[in-house]
Structure 1
């Protein structure tokens, strides 16, 4: 997959669906040449060479540099910027050597060593490619080979050079609390577009993922170049378009207020920046990222459990008796995991006190936590618990004992957000405290799941007892310590699953997802709002990694009323959870929920492991649809979810064409039995999906109406969508028919 042509001085990385080629030009610049559909590397040789336009544009080849260092005639966004011990702030990196290695699993790695011409500093550019994936993993290792400190002012992971396109369109996500993962498209004209976070973690205002096309790509057609950065702290992606039509995307750790002192003999490794090319539109891009995450990123390969979380039922008013009553009802609807949220510890009766005191509250649990755990396990469920280890309330025993354990400046007030401050994870004592209390909690109790929350951005970034000239290392040290804590806990407790949660949809990236089994994409659980949030999430991240809750009929976010079926269908497009107050549900609603949970369990392998297709053909009609395709016990299977926002003028809907099926296979479609509308809640009058007519089937009610069609017919003629009214939904199950 990786080759070097010594005669032409060309490096080439080949995958099944792409070629990536760069080489050493006549000035010794490592120059990018090609990225796209497969080509012969030798055919790229004529592209190699330096160019100039005028004395003001004298190094145009550096606009396509594989590793952009700041120095000489380079004025674009650099990958590396340093400050030497003698005050010099210039780099002159030259090619020194390279090596190509192949692992037993087929993974191939190219390492190119660049060395400064005058100072003992090396940059090791690492490219890795895995069989069957059209993706390249990149990072850089900076090595101080001398005996004096070197200050890294910026150390980015990679620069991706785009081909010359007619136009450049950037697709990315933005958002806010309760409105994360909102898709945006923007033309990249001359200048810079910066996507970044400066809040201490990957926050919901932006996510470290990008896609670029020529403005014409669609969900299932067109060429798309994309990348995703694996860093859970302050990050930056810079998309720069020059006056000469060269677009380069540079990304890595944000250099704002950030420096790293590299001591003699030390090595600094940047986070991984994964890039890819897809010839089949945004859908092919997402499926490539999803499969990579399932196979090489996510630590847990098993199916995710259907969980119940008690937060919205009790908030901070947690006690053993009420939690056990909720557990009874959660088990009744088919939950497999019962999670106690905030309020079980210390004097945590509200969000103003107790955070940091991780001791079970004896008044709320007079017989200890084990009484509740035993009851939950007796009901056939695993037990999970909420923690927020990185933060502390000033009104807590921990803070009163260790007021200097938090980030702060001595001469400034300690700003509180949500009545809390952030612990200094770079402090060894703080790190030990977190590992110790989490180890006691997990070691003394039968806990199978941890929801790790973080509801506080970092402010007043000062580290006590840390050298003044190294204070700007805080942003990196916090993330590294966090990774080390999670790695240690996963090593000690391999049977415990972890969910990452941070103020809604923050701290979701390929760095955190190497430790977390799943992620919480938003505190907004409104079923309609969630469709857009979950769609944006799916552009970069796999459905299995996305926790989705069913909450109340009247949305707490928008006061919108939706049916139980609609809420379940919305949440069934990821990892299903229930967060409603089950004490207020009727027996009929509990029974309906149990049927819907059973449906989800039947199609769970498809949702959590199949290929996802976002069906956008009827978006102009107010229809959101998503399909999952995989292989089941009896052959190929698929499940379709479709959601109607609002019917207009009494119009019906056109047929919806499916994707990803074998055109020559015959498929059996199940509609009525998998589109429960029986026992709907009173407020769901507009939902009339029961007994859907599918491809000529006329059965009504839960009679298992079926029809048989070829894959060709389903993909070219489509299926009927008998959706009516406002906020209606349906689910079809499509299975290969074996003769």
Structure 2
């Protein structure tokens, strides 16, 4: 059983295939965290009541330092999971255990305040084969008066305090340099990473990992405690170290309390997003594979979860805002010659959209650009053997639009203030039911009237004025949450009515990548930076937390480094996820068109392994990526019958010894036949064990070389 309550020990035990998590129900009704780590053979192996040490009259007592749910009570030095205020001004919580229920892989623990009408439900769910468990908190107001919520985290987890100091790994960056791996030692105090601009953010991603300073984890060895928050709005993750009789390190995550306030009215419930956590005893490799498996099997919308993602062409770089039926027909014909499966019309097809200064909000076809509507173009695309997709940015509005002229109050704004434009646009208040209904009707009409198979849903600015009308004055700090309740609900309604439409999330590239949005969308646009060299560290960081099937990578004309990129290099850099092409095909020679068609066919050949297989990084995770000479990844089919290795060099030195690539995950005693870019005198047949121990040398010659090697099980 994945979840047990051990009566004699008063211990909740949650076990996956390889890990365990334990919570003690103390005699006074408090929940005490006692264990998170490797699964042990017997229930009696897990620790019970911790030794309670009172540090001093100025600090938190020992048991409170180990609280499963730290709340304001006694002297609390920790980041609380919950801060609130009752109607009479009381701002602490005195929680007692009421009951619990275990249903399969779900545990619910019910708590209540000893005086006020407030009940809490701590929800846990175990995913045994993913070595993952999730946590969430529900607050139920059973009283007669409203309760003001100031902070509600999804979970707050204690790490072992007897293993030494920890190192914190996280993903940071900016627009066009997303998902950069940063590492730093955990110090006394609090380290906060967060998003506070109404989207996940380019600067930080809600993923964390902690390993040990004295024995840092590698790809294949070492302990790692990790997690991610499934939320797209304002969020925060807090890593804190408190000194008592010894150092205690915790990590918590949830909705950001910055500018947040929620009125929990009588009879209402507030539920947090899920905090996803896991443990690996074998390094960072299993961290990624476990998170990927969890997302692919349990998070992605079910309609396309098992389907391979199509190779797409996006026409933006070829035409920019010069979108006409004739121009789109011409570029679509060229895209079909490459073997593309999905043709996408980007920005500029709607309203008075001739630049980014006007038209957002008016989701009707521009009849000057498409005199007969979109249908003739869609038929042309379909006749070429491709599906048709289209770009939208529904959460935004230009002041120069029919929508804004009719409903200026629908955009976020402050009274008596001129709203701040970014990209000449404003953000619509999706907490308003009338805004949600308008967008549903507009997008439903678009999808009903046209044979559209794909939506690229963009979000191209951060919020400035976080106010608005159409909601009660007292609740305006709730909009950070209500926006995403509205967005998630809107997309779910559209998907229910149009189940065969693939949805992609984009926000200036990778600005809205998280497990919350992934429950409603099928894939991500990873970055607006499509330079094939720049993309390598971006894709490394993305792959640490998110699966290849969801990471779209385009071959474009971008060249930030004035480098002599070959088409081989440009394509193989994009082979590491879902493949797209955005280059202006009008600039391709006939020879380049033939070569590009070859690479599209090659990608289709290996696509099942890349998108549905398991990722093995073959070069070390590094936070100082400018020092990294090469990137190499392997993908192994689930049945271990096939594998793919992709390797790309950044630079070459004559004195540098070539890196042998050692691939894990294969059957040790099975012989695999190798083909592709293998160095001279390397064997063409090797056992899985040999590929893991001695490895294989790819053929990488000169600057910006790229190699593709495929492995096939013999017999």
**TM bracket (short chain):** over 0.9
Secondary structure at 2:330's aligned position in 1? helix
Q: Structure 1 pair 45/572, CA: closer, same or farther in 2 (3 Å)?
A: closer
Q: Structure 1 pair 470/715, CA: closer, same or farther in 2 (3 Å)?
A: same
Residues 231-246 of structure 1: pairs in structure 2 closer than 5 A = 231-244=231-244, 245-246=247-248
> Is this contact kept in 2: 1:695–1:719, CA < 8 A?
no
**Corresponding position of 1:591:** 594
Secondary structure at 2:89's aligned position in 1? coil
For 2:31 and 2:621, the matched residues in 1 are separated by 46
> Is this contact kept in 2: 1:29–1:62, CA < 8 A?
no
**Corresponding position of 1:351:** 356
> Is this contact kept in 1: 2:219–2:620, CA < 8 A?
no
Pair 1:669-2:674 in alignment: yes
Pair 1:143-2:140 in alignment: yes
**Corresponding position of 1:124:** 121
Pair 1:567-2:565 in alignment: no
> Is this contact kept in 1: 2:346–2:391, CA < 8 A?
yes
For 1:556 and 1:329, the matched residues in 2 are separated by 22
**Corresponding position of 1:516:** 521
Secondary structure at 1:590's aligned position in 2? helix
Secondary structure at 2:705's aligned position in 1? strand
**Corresponding position of 2:321:** 316
1:290 to 284, 292, 313: 292
For 1:431 and 1:281, the matched residues in 2 are separated by 44
For 2:595 and 2:60, the matched residues in 1 are separated by 70
2:636 to 623, 629, 645: 629
Pair 1:723-2:700 in alignment: yes
> Is this contact kept in 2: 1:25–1:50, CA < 8 A?
no
For 1:67 and 1:58, the matched residues in 2 are separated by 14
**Corresponding position of 1:682:** none
> Is this contact kept in 1: 2:137–2:271, CA < 8 A?
yes
Q: Structure 1 pair 16/631, CA: closer, same or farther in 2 (3 Å)?
A: closer
Residues 208-247 of structure 1: pairs in structure 2 closer than 5 A = 208-215=206-213, 216-244=216-244, 245-247=247-249
For 1:156 and 1:473, the matched residues in 2 are separated by 15
For 1:46 and 1:631, the matched residues in 2 are separated by 39
Residues 268-667 of structure 1: pairs in structure 2 closer than 5 A = 268-299=270-301, 300-301=304-305, 302-552=307-557, 555-616=558-619, 622-631=629-638, 636-649=641-654, 651=656, 653-667=658-672
Secondary structure at 2:469's aligned position in 1? coil
Secondary structure at 1:655's aligned position in 2? coil
> Is this contact kept in 1: 2:361–2:394, CA < 8 A?
yes
1:712 to 686, 689, 692: 689
For 2:655 and 2:45, the matched residues in 1 are separated by 59
**Corresponding position of 1:172:** 170
**Corresponding position of 1:681:** none
Show CA shifts across 1:450-473 (max 9, x none): 000000211111120322211100
Calculate the aligned-residue CA RMSD, in Å.
Answer: 1.5
For 1:365 and 1:294, the matched residues in 2 are separated by 38
Deviation at 1:651, TM superposition (A): 4.5
Secondary structure at 1:274's aligned position in 2? strand
Secondary structure at 2:534's aligned position in 1? helix
**Corresponding position of 1:196:** 194
Gaps of 5+ in 2: none
Secondary structure at 1:132's aligned position in 2? helix
Q: Structure 1 pair 49/23, CA: closer, same or farther in 2 (3 Å)?
A: farther
Deviates more, 1:18-27 or 1:427-436: 18-27
Deviation at 1:663, TM superposition (A): 1.6
Pair 1:89-2:91 in alignment: yes
Gaps of 5+ in 1: 103-107, 676-691, 698-706
Secondary structure at 1:119's aligned position in 2? coil
